[in-house]
Structure 1
Amino acid sequence: MSPDATPDPFVEPMAFGQRMQILRQRRGMSRPVLAGLVGMSPSWVKQIETGQIQVPKLPMILRIAELLRVRDLSDLTGDQTMPVDLFIGPGHECLPAVRDAINAFPFTADREAPPTAHLQARLARAWDARHEAPNHREVVGKLLPDLIRDAQLTVHQADSAADRRAAQAALSEVYSLAQFFVAYQPDSSLLWRVAERGMVAAQDSEDPHAIGVAAWLTAQAHRDSGPSHFEAADAVNLQTLNYLEPLLPDAPDEVLAIAGALQFEAGYTAARRGETATAWGWWDKAKKVSKRLPADYFHPVTSFGRAIMGAHAVTVAVELHAGPESVRQAARADRTTIPSRPRRARHRIEEARGYQLDGQADVALATLDKAHEAAPETIRYNGYARRIILEETEAKSPERRRRAAELAVKVGLLTA
């Protein structure tokens, strides 16, 4: 290796501080930014990275791992004896079949493709099944392989330009469903392949709703890749919103909903940056859009609607690391019911993050229990939930340690 090359923290043995510095730099995060997010000084971060002070205790290591989006805790600590995936959940048993369907493409076929209307009906049933199921990855994972193959075939066999555009819109939404399944599983390249194919199919369809959904998911993929990708997330968001803007005065509910969802995503990214006024400004815009929708409207892909705005407010406050505000928003959000088990579980996890920020660790654990009741697969694949649970297994309170350990067993972090 060249002496000027950046060492790989996953290959060569090196100290915790060196690993932390490399991972921080790869995320495009400065020392002052990381220091502010963990509540320490830039000099403390420098002393950790240069080995001048001891490795921090587990709660701080877990906070650093969360902020640096470390996939496996051993990548940060160097201890390979107890690997713990934080932001990547376990590989689902349906993943190989879904991957095979995505990787294949039907250039020829000995059967007739299903009509686009048939695909759309199956998609609607698949989204309904996902929202109703506690084991939503299992349900979706079994449906996806045939959906992917049939949607690809329908595009391939389209007879006219109009038929092909309609088939591309359906294929794009199939890829959207696939992205929900693939997310947080141990195949990041597959996730990006799905996101890119979904965007290409949406653009070919010329369908505003399909384009908006694909952009919404692509922006999330960029943002979850770390601070150095926030600009890319914003670019996708804002370009798509500019495209949709002229259509909104007379837009159907589904296009209004995707516009509102994109506005919230812009606020989400701003909150990740720590831009308080910008984050809440985008949330306000999304709130206004939600009021143009029927009171009971619920978008099947983004979950956007009036009922979700309280949960979105909790997320903004949590991402801004505003503990008391997170708790206040959580209390308000609990007045509404989110008509989706996985989305309800996700909201409970965001509430738990807020309670922990506010120093209410016992309430945070109780809230994660509620998330597990709503949808065990959601919490099993959620890095924030996993971090809170692991952190509380080291709590000073014996009772809290016991509760955290029991929850860790439930979600598969520890064995019984």
Structure 2
Amino acid sequence: MPSSATPDAYTDPVGFGQRMQILRTRRGMSRPVAAGLLGMSVSWVKQLERGEIGMPKLPVVLRIAELLRVRDLSDLTGDQSVPVDLFVGPGHPRLPAVRDAVNALTLGDSDRQAPPAVHLAARLAKAWAARHQAANHREVIGELLPGLIRDAQLTVRQSDTGTDRRTALAILSEVYSLSQFFVAYQPDSALLWRVAERGMVAAQESEDPHAIGVAAWLAVQAHRDSGQAYFDAADALTREALAYLEPALPDADDRTAAITGAIQFEAGYTAARRGESGAAWGWWDKAQATAARLPSSYYHPVTSFSRAIMGAHAVTVAVELRSGGESVRQAARADAATIPSRPRRARHRIEEARGYQLDGQPDVALAMLAQAHEAAPETIRYSGYARRIVLEETESRVPARRRRAATLAEQLELLAA
């Protein structure tokens, strides 16, 4: 490697501070922004990155890892002896079968009769319901997806009319959306993007507003989760989707109104990740107004958008704005019992845990994570935020807290190689 080349934080024997600087730069994050989000001074970050001070203690290391969305803790620390995935969960046993179905061309199925679109739609609806009801939701949908993907692809291929083809494409797009829920936070980011892109193409060809909205909603999340350098792309996609959906909102059916509200919230979520408090809460207010027009019992099968979810969304906004006190206040107002989806309820508990951790209440944070594990173990196993909190508290000086965190770490198989 030429002496002028940038070292690779993943392979070169560089120190913690230099690794942090490389990873921060790759995220498109300035030093002042990083310092502000960490609650440290710019000079402290500068000294750390220059190697003028040593690697901080584990709680701070984990906050840096969360900020930079480091996948494996050793990418930041350089210690390869104990690999610890943070924002990527373990590869699910059903991942290869789902990957094969996504990659297949279905050309070998040309002699098989495709199922009618109405039957395929009914199977898809049952799959979404199963996902919301199951504690091991990845196992459930991982079993269903290969057949759904192949049948949806075949139904598109065998459509006789333009109308039939658009109907089948809308279904195929939503099957890819379900696939994205399965693939997310697993160790195959290329497959995640392939699924997201195919879902968007199928949705656009279907000309179905709801399908387009769902595909856009998931694509926004994929961009935002790729790091701060992709926030502008997430915002641009949000604006395009809302420009398409909002004009029809007054006459929209419940599911189209719900996907519009879900995208409105995503705009606020991205603003919160940027630290833009006014914009974040402004978008939350807009999404709240959209939720208010929905029936009280309505719950969107893909996004979970509903009246009931807005309290959980408020917790997320406060947490992303790094406001511990406001996070706790919003958590007290939100009613998790009204969230019918087990994985979504578990995610809400994780967000509450983040809020209590920010507010200096680690024991309550661990209690929330225990409730998340009870609601949906597969949700917490794949959550980088939950992993960070549990790892941090295994180093607690309080014996009871340390034992509680160690129990959770064991349940999550957190330190498994």
Equivalent in the alignment of 1:399? 400
Is 1:154 matched with 2:155?
A: yes
Asked if 2 retains the 8 angstrom alpha-carbon contact of 1:16 and 1:76, the reply is yes
Equivalent in the alignment of 1:209? 210
Equivalent in the alignment of 1:82? 82
Equivalent in the alignment of 2:7? 7
Equivalent-residue separation in structure 1 for 2:126 and 2:337 (angstroms):
24
Equivalent in the alignment of 1:189? 190
Asked if 2 retains the 8 angstrom alpha-carbon contact of 1:405 and 1:414, the reply is no
What pairs with 1:239-258 in structure 2 (closer than 5 Å)? Answer: 239-258=240-259
Offset at 1:206? 0.1
Equivalent-residue separation in structure 1 for 2:236 and 2:387 (angstroms):
31
**3-state SS of 1:40 partner:** coil
Equivalent in the alignment of 2:293? 292
Give unmatched runs, 5+ long, in structure 1: none
C-alpha distance 214-399 of structure 1, shift in aligned 2 (>3 A):
same
Asked if 1 retains the 8 angstrom alpha-carbon contact of 2:83 and 2:415, the reply is no
Equivalent residue letter for 2:65: A
Equivalent residue letter for 1:88: V
Offset at 1:335? 6.6
Equivalent-residue separation in structure 1 for 2:264 and 2:301 (angstroms):
17
Equivalent-residue separation in structure 2 for 1:205 and 1:131 (angstroms):
26
What pairs with 1:135-154 in structure 2 (closer than 5 Å)? Answer: 135-154=136-155
Asked if 2 retains the 8 angstrom alpha-carbon contact of 1:222 and 1:230, the reply is yes
Percent identity (aligned): 75
Equivalent in the alignment of 1:68? 68
Aligned residues between the structures:
415
Asked if 1 retains the 8 angstrom alpha-carbon contact of 2:84 and 2:415, the reply is no
What pairs with 1:372-383 in structure 2 (closer than 5 Å)? Answer: 372-383=373-384
Give unmatched runs, 5+ long, in structure 2: none
Equivalent residue letter for 1:130: R
Equivalent in the alignment of 2:102? 102
What pairs with 1:224-239 in structure 2 (closer than 5 Å)? Answer: 224-239=225-240
Equivalent residue letter for 2:15: A
Asked if 1 retains the 8 angstrom alpha-carbon contact of 2:62 and 2:388, the reply is yes
Equivalent in the alignment of 1:25? 25
Asked if 2 retains the 8 angstrom alpha-carbon contact of 1:314 and 1:329, the reply is yes
Equivalent in the alignment of 1:320? 321
Equivalent in the alignment of 2:92? 92
Asked if 2 retains the 8 angstrom alpha-carbon contact of 1:307 and 1:336, the reply is no
Asked if 2 retains the 8 angstrom alpha-carbon contact of 1:176 and 1:213, the reply is yes
CA offset digits 1:100-151 (Å, max 9, x no partner): 0001112352201111111100000000000000000000000000000000
Equivalent-residue separation in structure 2 for 1:206 and 1:2 (angstroms):
51
Equivalent-residue separation in structure 1 for 2:413 and 2:306 (angstroms):
33
Equivalent in the alignment of 1:221? 222
Equivalent in the alignment of 1:127? 128
Offset at 1:352? 0.3
Offset at 1:54? 1.0
Moved more, 4-13 or 401-410: 4-13
Equivalent-residue separation in structure 2 for 1:115 and 1:80 (angstroms):
52
Taking structure 2 as the reference length, the TM-score comes to 0.98
CA offset digits 1:355-378 (Å, max 9, x no partner): 000000000000100000000000
Taking structure 1 as the reference length, the TM-score comes to 0.99
Equivalent-residue separation in structure 2 for 1:89 and 1:36 (angstroms):
28
Offset at 1:2? 3.5
Equivalent in the alignment of 1:50? 50
**3-state SS of 1:321 partner:** coil
Offset at 1:341? 0.2
Equivalent residue letter for 1:348: R
Equivalent residue letter for 1:19: R
Equivalent residue letter for 2:87: F
Equivalent-residue separation in structure 2 for 1:111 and 1:335 (angstroms):
45
Equivalent residue letter for 1:313: A
Equivalent residue letter for 1:280: W
Equivalent-residue separation in structure 2 for 1:232 and 1:246 (angstroms):
22
Offset at 1:8? 1.1
Is 1:408 matched with 2:385?
A: no
**3-state SS of 1:130 partner:** helix
Equivalent-residue separation in structure 2 for 1:357 and 1:59 (angstroms):
12
Asked if 1 retains the 8 angstrom alpha-carbon contact of 2:152 and 2:175, the reply is yes
Equivalent-residue separation in structure 2 for 1:101 and 1:352 (angstroms):
36
C-alpha distance 135-309 of structure 1, shift in aligned 2 (>3 A):
same
Equivalent residue letter for 1:330: A
Moved more, 27-36 or 107-116: 107-116
Computed over aligned residues only, the root mean square deviation of the Cα atoms, in angstroms, reads 0.9
Equivalent-residue separation in structure 2 for 1:41 and 1:224 (angstroms):
25
C-alpha distance 335-185 of structure 1, shift in aligned 2 (>3 A):
closer
